Every structure is written in structure tokens, then in C-alpha cells.
Amino acid sequence: MLANFLIGLREGLEAALVVGILVAYLVRLNRRELLPSLWTGIGVAVAVSLGFGALLTFGPQGLGFRAQEAIGGTLSIAAVGLVTWMIFWMARTARHLKGDLQHELDGAVVAGRRAVLVVALLAVGREGLETALFLWAGAQATGRGSAAPLVGAALGLALAVALGWALYQGSIRLDLRRFFGWTGMFLVLIAAGVLAYGVHDLQEAGVLPGLDTLAFDVSHVVAPTSWYGTLLKGVFNFSPATTWLQAVVWVLYVAPVMTAFVRIAWARPRAGAPSRPQPAPVSAA
């Protein structure tokens, strides 16, 4: 639940920042008549994301066990690739996200309502599809049939909407560099767990070997049904009985990705380098 809460909060805040920037810029340009088109594009993006999530959830249910495991494992690995790209993209572009979106919207305003709708659809839809895929993968890994991942994601998204609104109104300030830096590091660990789970799914489907070759089994110490076992499973997808392939994949992912992310996200600006504006707070004034 905690992992899905964090995913919902981070991804939701990204989407809220995008929406706030687009709305504020149209208001600043005194083009309020384009706001309905903007909101329509946002609504379509949300609907498409929900539909994608429903397809992931209910689509494979009629398949056999091995087919479900193969699809689940493949999509989990794809989700890890997508979220890895996302956290690096945000680390590089957070400081000039506002300028990039405004530049895209400038051309759309000239082109008309449909262009504004498309800009909103693409900007928010990307965030929505990323969120749907990674939340689905996280929910599959932490417990099929449980409502806790959905509740955690909903709470995270609700808090993200509230924070986005407060940022838009200028009532709070948020150090986005630190926020996306710390949450990005946490997401690397979550993604590593989802990756290991995806590998295990593929092992159960017979696509990958080594299902019976365990690197360690600490079930007698970390019982899967204990509160701490449930917590480790829910947050980091930790499995007390881990195969060698899962362990190797986890290490090979975390070591280079965490190192590269920390270097990019926490790098200090060079002396004399021009500072670029943060994407928040966003105000209509």
C-alpha cells in the first residue's frame, strides 16, 4: 500500500503540475475561451488511462496460468523500463518543464482549440499511462485480489491533487528538486522489486529457468504472513524465498540505476551556470 501511495503521489503531482502550468499560461495569455478544450483533453487523457488500467486488470483473466504469468512478467518488466525512463526524464527536465510546456502551448494557441486539446491530451496522457502501468505492476506484485494497493494509489493521487491545487494557488511552496530526488531514489528500489517479481513470473511460466534454484530462503526468519514480512513485500516486493536469477537481476538493476540517478538528480549547478525556473509554484496571476 505504501509503495502504491508513493507512486500515486509522485505521478499524480507530476500530472497536477502539468495541468497547473497549462491552465495558468492560458489565463495569463487571456485566452480563457480555450480552457474548455484544455479540460476536454485532460478528461480524455484520464479516461484513456483508466481504460488502459482496466484492460490490464481484466484482459488476461480468461487465459491459462502460464499465459497469465508470462503476460504479467512481461508487463512488469516493461513497467520497470518505463518508470526508469520517467524518473531520469523528470530529474533532467524538472527545472525547465514549465518553459517547455509553455512553448508547446504557444503553437497550439495559434492553431486553435483542437491543437490545445491535443497538447493537453498528450501531456497528461503520458503521465496517466505511466501511472496505470506501474500501479498495475505494483498491485500484481504486492498481492492479487487485495484492495490495499488500489486504496494506497487513490490516497496518493488525492494528496497529489490537493498539493497541485495549493501550488497553483500559491498557498504553499515545494522544493521539487528534493521531492523528485528522494521519491526517485525510493522508486528505484520499488522498481527493482517489481523487476524481480516479473522475472519470477516468467520463471513460473517456464520462459526463464532457475525457478527451483534459490539464492536464499529466510522464511523461518521473515515469515510471509508476519507484519514485517507483509510490510517488506508491500513496499519493496521482498520475497523470503528468492531465486538466484531474481537476486542477480535485482542487484544488476539497483547498482547502476541508483548510482546514475543520484549523480543526475543531486548534482549541484555549476558555478556561473544560469539557473532555470522551477515548474512550481504555478500561479494564474
In a domain, 270, yes or no: no
Q: What is the pLDDT of residue 234?
A: 67
User: In total, how many domains does the chain have?
Assistant: 1
Between residues 205 and 112, which one has the greater pLDDT?
205
Q: What is the DSSP letter of 273?
A: P
The stretches of the chain forming alpha helices (DSSP H) are 2-28, 35-58, 65-93, 97-111, 113-142, 148-169, 176-204, 227-236, 244-265
Q: Residue 33 pLDDT more than 80?
A: yes
In a domain, 282, yes or no: no
The listed range with the strongest mean pLDDT (61-75, 99-113, 254-268) is 254-268
Cα-Cα-Cα-Cα dihedral sign, residues 174, 137, 87, 191: positive
In a domain, 245, yes or no: yes
Q: Contact, 128 vs 157, CB < 8 A?
A: no
Q: Among the listed ranges 96-100, 193-197, 242-246, which one has the minimum average pLDDT value?
A: 96-100
Helix, strand or coil, per DSSP, at residue 247? helix
Residues 252/257/258/262 CA torsion (nearest 10 deg): 160
- Residue range 157-175, pLDDT digits in tens: 888 888 888 877 776 676 7
Q: Quote the CA–CA distance of 235 and 3 in Å, as a whole number.
A: 5
Q: What is the pLDDT of residue 259?
A: 94
In a domain, 149, yes or no: yes
Q: Residue 120 pLDDT more than 50?
A: yes
The stretches of 214-280 forming alpha helices (DSSP H) are 227-236, 244-265
In a domain, 255, yes or no: yes
- Tell me the pLDDT band of 30, cut-offs 50, 70 and 90: confident
Domain extent for 17: 2-265
What is the average pLDDT score of the chain? 80
Q: Residue 284 pLDDT more than 50?
A: no
Q: What is the pLDDT of residue 142?
A: 62
In a domain, 272, yes or no: no
Q: What is the mean pLDDT of residues 80-88?
A: 85
In a domain, 285, yes or no: no
Q: Quote the CA–CA distance of 282 and 168 in Å, as a whole number.
A: 5
Residue type, 212: D
Between residues 47 and 237, which one has the greater pLDDT?
47
In a domain, 82, yes or no: yes
- Residue range 232-275, pLDDT digits in tens: 776 677 888 899 999 999 999 999 999 999 988 887 655 544 44
Q: Please state the pTM of the whole predicted model.
A: 0.72
Q: What is the pLDDT of residue 76?
A: 86
Q: Contact, 163 vs 56, CB < 8 A?
A: no
Q: What is the mean pLDDT of residues 202-207?
A: 90
